[in-house]
Amino acid sequence: MKRLTEEKITHLHGAGGAVMEKLLLEHILPKFSLRRAGPIGLDELDDGAVVDLPPGKLVVTTDSHVVKPLFFPGGDIGKLAVTGTVNDLVVMGARPLALTLALVVEEGFPIADLEKILASAASVLSELGVPLVTGDTKVMGKGELDGLIINTTGIGIAENPVSDGGLRVGDYLVVTGPVGDHGMAILAARNELPVETPIQSDVAPLWPALERALATGGITAMKDPTRGGLAAALNEMARKSRVGIEVWEEKIPVRPEVQGLCELLGFSPYELACEGRAVIGVAPEKLEEVLAALRAHPLTAEAQVIGQAIPEYPGKVILRTAVGGRRFLEMPIGDPVPRIC
């Protein structure tokens, strides 16, 4: 009989019987070293998990991940799934406490690839000290699904939750690193670029980098610039905060190779997704303290002030160009690269 790792997913792997149990016990659960946040966790394979909650406000987020291809420069759907959910918690000011993970797998999907993807997800959670406490597995027929969908739900604890609508006039806007890397890396992985490029996705969990910055008390708003990139994040923050935002083009960090490819392809780097960046509103009196905290961590060492909240044009974003002109930076109609997360 072939080893399970040499086989492919069949409908029996999602049917709740002995075959599914073997998949869970031998090839899914062992990937995750942290499997509980209370008396009932992943090992029990119960209908849910019980989580011990520390003091603070509970923050909950959920996300489904359909990135194509499943493996890309700098990551894969497993790393992306847990990172994206962790980062959604972090930009709300929450310390990640526990995650759930649900798989919807196409019949015929290689189990070896599934193991690689789950090992990647587990590596991120282990690095953060965050347990996976419960999950689910379903199988769909061949051709009914494009390989794999992962849904993750995260819970976190925040002493002082942060929203993306908390900007005040005078607050500075900070981006934690170069924008557009993830979107361009996905294009490269799809062989949709006219040249070869070493660009890697920026996918990375932000909690280790932002924990100290949050502790300063100077962060007034946060957003992760995923679908729609920096342009979408800034427009959402302006609209919800009911302020205008002016950003300074020469201050927005974009890698030269990303900028060059955008010019070649007709894309704006400000509309390409990031998966390891945050856009942060900072009170003026706390700016230097927040920047020092960010730049002390390798992931956010390139943090840059890119603009300021202004009373004019509430709900709009104004881009001051490198040549001194001003124009609206519009909300994108949609992300120019579909299925980037």
Backbone angles phi, psi at 190, to 5 degrees: -90, 5
Per-residue model confidence (pLDDT) at position 4: 47
Q: What is the residue whose two structure tokens read 């942290």?
A: 34
**Contact (CB, 8 A) for 85 and 156:** no
Q: How far apart are CA 91 and CA 198, in angstroms?
A: 29
pLDDT averaged per 10 residues, the chain (length 341): 66 92 94 98 97 98 98 97 99 99 98 98 98 98 97 98 98 98 93 79 98 98 98 99 98 96 94 98 99 98 99 98 94 89 92
Strand partners, 138: 104
What b-and-e string marks burial along 286-301, b requiring 16 or more CB atoms within 10 Å of the CB?
bbebbbebbbebebbe
Q: Please choose, from the candidates 116, 136, 172, 182, the residue with its C-alpha nearest in 3D space to the C-alpha of residue 337.
A: 182
For 172-328, CATH gives: 3.90.650.10
**Contact (CB, 8 A) for 244 and 314:** yes
Strand partners, 318: 246, 328
Q: How far apart are CA 124 and CA 131, in angstroms?
A: 10
Give start and end residues of each alpha helix (H) in 157-309: 181-189, 207-215, 229-241, 256-265, 287-295
| SS3 call for 182 | helix
The number of residues making up the chain comes to: 341
For 4-158, CATH gives: 3.30.1330.10
Cβ atoms within 10 A of the Cβ of 119, count?
15
- Per-domain residue ranges for the chain? 4-158, 172-328
DSSP string, 41-88: -GGGT-SS-B-PPPSSEEEEEEEEE--SSSEETTEEHHHHHHHHHHHH
Strand partners, 248: 320
Cis status of the peptide bond prior to 69, with omega within 30 of 0: yes
Pairing of strands 304-310, 244-248: antiparallel
Which DSSP letter does residue 285 get? G
Both tokens assigned to 141: 């027929």
Cβ atoms within 10 A of the Cβ of 86, count?
25
HSE (CB half, 13 Å, CA atoms) of 157?
10
| SS3 call for 153 | strand
Per-residue model confidence (pLDDT) at position 196: 76
